[in-house]
Amino acid sequence: MLDSLQGKGCVVTGAARSIGLGIAEKYCKDGAKVAMIDINPEVMEQAERLRAEGGFAKGYILDVTDRDAVLECFVQIEKDIGPIFSLVNNAGIVDQRPFEEITTEMIDKQMAVNVNGTLFCCQGAIKSMRENKMGRIINFSSKSGKTGSALMAHYSAAKGAIIALTHALAFELAGDNIQVNCMCPGITDDSGVWGVVSSKYTENLKLPREEVIKRFTAKIPLKRLTYIEDIVEMVHFLTLKGDYMTGQAYNITGGREMH
C-alpha cells in the first residue's frame, strides 16, 4: 500500500475537461507524473496549466479508436514519464435516442470509443506494468452498464461491455500484480455526459431541464446527483490503496445502484 503517488507514472484519458481533468489534477497534487490524453486539443493547455501550478503533466492529442496510434503514443508516454503505474480509461461518448432510431453507425461509434478505446489503451499500458510487476487500471463504465437506461440502449450495451472487459482483465493480469477495476457513476453534475443527456431528456421527454433533474434526483436515496469530486476521490483511493481490490465495478450513485 502506497503513502503517495510521488513520482509514479499515471495516465488519464479524456483528460481535457470534467472528470478526467479532475483526476489528472488530483494525481498532480499527489506528486504523480501525469500523462493527459484527449482528442480535444484543449488537453495541451490544461497540461500546461498544471505544470505552471507546480505539477508534472504532459498532454497528448490522441484518437483512442486508432489502435496503432494508441500503441505508439504509449511508447512515447513511457519515454516521457517513465514506467506506467496507473491507467484511468475515462475517455468516452454518450448518445441518447429512441431504440428504434439506433443505426449501425451509432452502435459502432459507441463501441469504437467506449470499448475499443479502453481496450487499446490497456494494451498500450500493460507492457510497462508487467515489466514492473505492478499496476492499476481503472476503467469507466456507468450505472447504465449495470441497469440499462431508457433511450440509451447502445450506450448501455457499450458500458456493460466495459464491466465484462474489466472482469476478464482482472483475472488475466492478477499474476503480474496488476489490479483492474471500473467506476460505475450515476448522473454526474457538471459533467459533459450529463450536459448531453439532460438536454436530450428535455427534448425526448418534452420536459424542462429543472423537471428532468428533479425526477432523477428523486430516484437517488441520498437525494443529490453525483459530484465530480465523488468520482475523483474514489479513483485516487483505488490508485493509492487498491492493492487487494480487483475485478470490481464500483457504484458511485448515491445508493441508486446497489449491486
pLDDT in tens, 220-249: 999 988 999 999 999 999 999 999 999 999
Examine the residue annotation and report whether 201 is marked as an active-site residue of this protein: no
Render each residue's pLDDT in the chain as its tens digit; 259 residues: 799 999 999 999 999 999 999 999 999 999 999 999 999 999 999 999 999 999 999 999 999 999 999 999 999 999 999 999 999 999 999 999 999 999 999 999 999 999 999 999 999 999 999 999 999 999 999 999 999 999 999 999 999 999 999 999 999 999 999 999 999 999 887 766 666 666 666 776 677 877 877 887 898 999 988 999 999 999 999 999 999 999 999 999 999 999 9
Pairwise CA distance, residues 35 & 47, whole Å: 8
Mapped onto helix, strand or coil, the DSSP state of residue 148 is: coil
pLDDT in tens, 146-171: 999 999 999 999 999 999 999 999 99
CA angle 171, 177, 181 (to 5 degrees): 55
Mapped onto helix, strand or coil, the DSSP state of residue 18 is: helix
Q: Are 241 and 6 in contact (CB under 8 A)?
A: no
Q: Which one of the listed residues 27, 60, 155, 201 is annotated catalytic? A: 155
pLDDT in tens, 79-91: 999 999 999 999 9
All residues at 6 or more sequence positions from 52 whose CB lies less than 8 Å from its CB, including other chains: none
- Amino acid (1-letter code) at residue 167: H
Three cell numbers, residue 89:
480509461
